[in-house]
């Protein structure tokens, strides 16, 4: 993605001290070390383990990798380990095909993420620091050079190891990540223990999304009150969003939590908006005027902010066809370790394909009943949340596109265009794709 496409679309004052953007550099500022230091100054180490944790608790920072888990709780747990034993991993795998915000952040403001990694490592007394990023030769070369520059200038107290993530949907799931960094493959494992108890090489491991680390680095500089100055009282701050508009354009924008959704995905003519990504949920376009970018607002309609994906479906496309393509992709991305996921997701994907009219025959009249039953059978039955996320996406599609489903049962479809809208990667080729490239 170009730097221009990743502009801070909602820029108000162009200053980290005031409004937006906080994370992305304002127009005219680069992401290089000299620009970063002139804008933010050096890494504000606290001088002792745990010292930063009360500030993160007061800021009410939650994870930006999808689950919005309170960051201070993980910091406290990992900080209880023997000094030097814990591992900190910055998660930049970004396995979600519709999300580009982590790549954009690492491209435009890498030093904020790297500051956050060092500060998190200090806070938990870690002895090892890893940056886990989606495999991209150019991005890796750039990060290598940036890390060498920081180390040479004495900014980083612990050398950061770069580990490449395979381009798989599950590669960023934290237990898959811990397996891969421990020299295994990026497949999830059963929990407990959670990775903050036993993660990389069996050591307590703090995994934070790279955007979370960038927020942490700003809180360390400007304080919890500053952080809470934007957003809602319960969900303070800003978040990066990947916005896919109905006209096919896409950009990454930093948005204040609580911003009206209709203003963010301003897409006249869209029939529905996918919120949160492929483990997220569809929301009918006529509900948008009442919704904001916050979990409190989205929860009642079965959605959540997730990793900040918002995709407005053009009115000429079929929501069932799009959902069937995504469901098939998610089924193929199953790590194949748990029976209900291994067998259930392909059956669900096939039934969705049939309902969408992709099977070349009129759907079986029992297809909706089967989908609902199979969804119930896979939910909560995996080592990881992949089946649960897939079922959430499926159920929202069946609800939001219910009228379209009735048409399809009669062998009809309202779409004027069959052109795919949501991005689907080419797909796994071999089992080796689960390993680090």
Binding site for ligand FMN (CB under 6 A): 63-67, 69, 91, 93-96, 170, 172-174, 207-209, 212, 384-386
Give the SS3 label for residue 134: strand
Nearer to ligand FMN, 31 or 63 (CB): 63
To the nearest whole angstrom, how small is the minimum distance from the Cβ of residue 134 to ligand SF4? 19
Site of tokens 């319960």: 234
- The residue number with the shortest CB distance to ligand SF4 is 382
Task: Residue 67: name its binding partner from ligand FMN, ligand SF4, none (Cβ under 5 to 8 Å by kind).
Answer: ligand FMN
Rounded CA separation 98/64 (Å) = 15
What does 341 interact with, of ligand FMN, ligand SF4, none (CB < 5 to 8 A by kind)?
A: ligand SF4
Q: Which residues contribute to the site for ligand SF4 (CB under 6 A)?
A: 170, 188, 334-338, 341-342, 382-384, 386-387
Residue 392 interacting entry, from ligand FMN, ligand SF4, none, C-beta within 5 to 8 Å by type? none
Minimum gap (Å) between residue 356 Cβ and ligand FMN: 23
Q: Compute the least distance from the CB of residue 338 to ligand SF4, in Å.
A: 3
Query: Minimum CB separation from ligand SF4 for residue 336, in Å?
Result: 5
Q: Which is nearer to ligand FMN, 207 or 348 (CB)?
A: 207
Q: How far is the CB of 20 from ligand FMN (least distance, A)?
A: 20
Based on C-alpha coordinates, what's the Rg of the chain? 22
Return the residue matching tokens 């009360």.
Answer: 54
What SS3 class is residue 394?
Answer: helix
Question: Going by C-beta distance under 8 Å and a sequence separation of 6 or more, which residues neighbour residue 58?
Answer: 224
CB 288 within 8 A of CB 264: no
95 binds, among ligand FMN, ligand SF4, none (CB under 5 to 8 A by kind): ligand FMN
Q: In what order do the strands lie in the sheet with 281-284?
A: 250-256, 238-244, 309-313, 272-275, 281-284
The entry of ligand SF4, ligand FMN, none near residue 65 (CB within 5 to 8 angstroms by kind) is ligand FMN
Other beta carbons within 10 angstroms of residue 152's beta carbon come to 9
Q: Which does 231 bind (CB under 5 to 8 A by kind): ligand SF4, ligand FMN, none?
A: none
d(CA 64, CA 397): 24
Residues 6 or more apart from 82 whose CB is under 8 A from it?
none
């Amino acid at each position: 993605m170009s730097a221009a496409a990743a502009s801070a679309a909602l820029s108000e004052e162009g200053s980290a001290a005031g409004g937006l953007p906080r994370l992305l550099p304002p127009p005219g500022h680069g992401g290089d070390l000299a620009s970063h230091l002139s804008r933010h100054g050096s890494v504000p180490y606290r001088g002792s383990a745990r010292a930063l944790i009360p500030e993160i608790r007061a800021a009410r920072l939650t994870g930006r990798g999808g689950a919005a888990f309170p960051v201070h709780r993980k910091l406290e747990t990992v900080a209880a380990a023997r000094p030097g034993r814990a591992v900190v991993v910055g998660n930049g795998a970004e396995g979600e095909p519709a999300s580009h915000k982590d790549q954009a952040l690492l491209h435009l403001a890498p030093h904020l993420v790297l500051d956050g990694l060092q500060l998190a490592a200090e806070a938990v007394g870690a002895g090892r620091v890893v940056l886990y990023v989606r495999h991209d030769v150019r991005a890796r070369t750039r990060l290598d050079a940036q890390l060498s520059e920081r180390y040479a200038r004495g900014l980083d107290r612990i050398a950061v190891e770069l580990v490449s993530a395979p381009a798989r949907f599950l590669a960023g799931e934290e237990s898959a990540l811990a397996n891969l960094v421990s020299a295994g493959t990026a497949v999830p494992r059963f929990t407990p223990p959670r990775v903050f108890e036993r993660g990389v090489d069996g050591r307590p491991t703090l995994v934070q999304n790279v955007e979370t680390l960038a927020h942490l680095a700003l809180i360390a500089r400007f304080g919890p009150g500053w952080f809470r100055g934007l957003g809602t009282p319960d969900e303070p701050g800003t978040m990066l969003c990947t916005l896919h508009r109905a006209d096919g354009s896409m950009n990454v924008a930093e948005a204040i939590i609580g911003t009206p959704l209709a203003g963010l995905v301003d897409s006249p003519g869209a029939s529905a908006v996918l919120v949160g990504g492929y483990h997220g949920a569809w929301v009918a376009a006529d509900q948008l005027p009442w919704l904001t970018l916050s979990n409190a607002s989205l929860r009642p309609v079965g959605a959540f902010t997730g990793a900040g994906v918002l995709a407005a479906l053009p009115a000429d496309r079929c929501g069932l066809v799009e959902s069937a393509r995504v469901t098939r992709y998610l089924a193929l991305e199953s790590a194949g370790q748990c029976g209900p996921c291994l067998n259930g997701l392909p059956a669900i994907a096939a039934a969705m394909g049939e309902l969408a009219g992709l099977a070349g025959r009129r759907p079986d009249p029992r297809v909706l009943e089967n989908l609902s039953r199979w969804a119930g059978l896979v939910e909560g039955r995996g080592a990881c949340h992949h089946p649960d996320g897939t079922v959430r996406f499926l159920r929202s599609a069946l609800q939001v596109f219910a009228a379209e489903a009735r048409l399809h049962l009669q062998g009809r479809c309202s779409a004027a265009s069959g052109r795919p809208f949501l991005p689907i990667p080419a797909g796994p080729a071999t089992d080796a794709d689960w390993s680090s490239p």
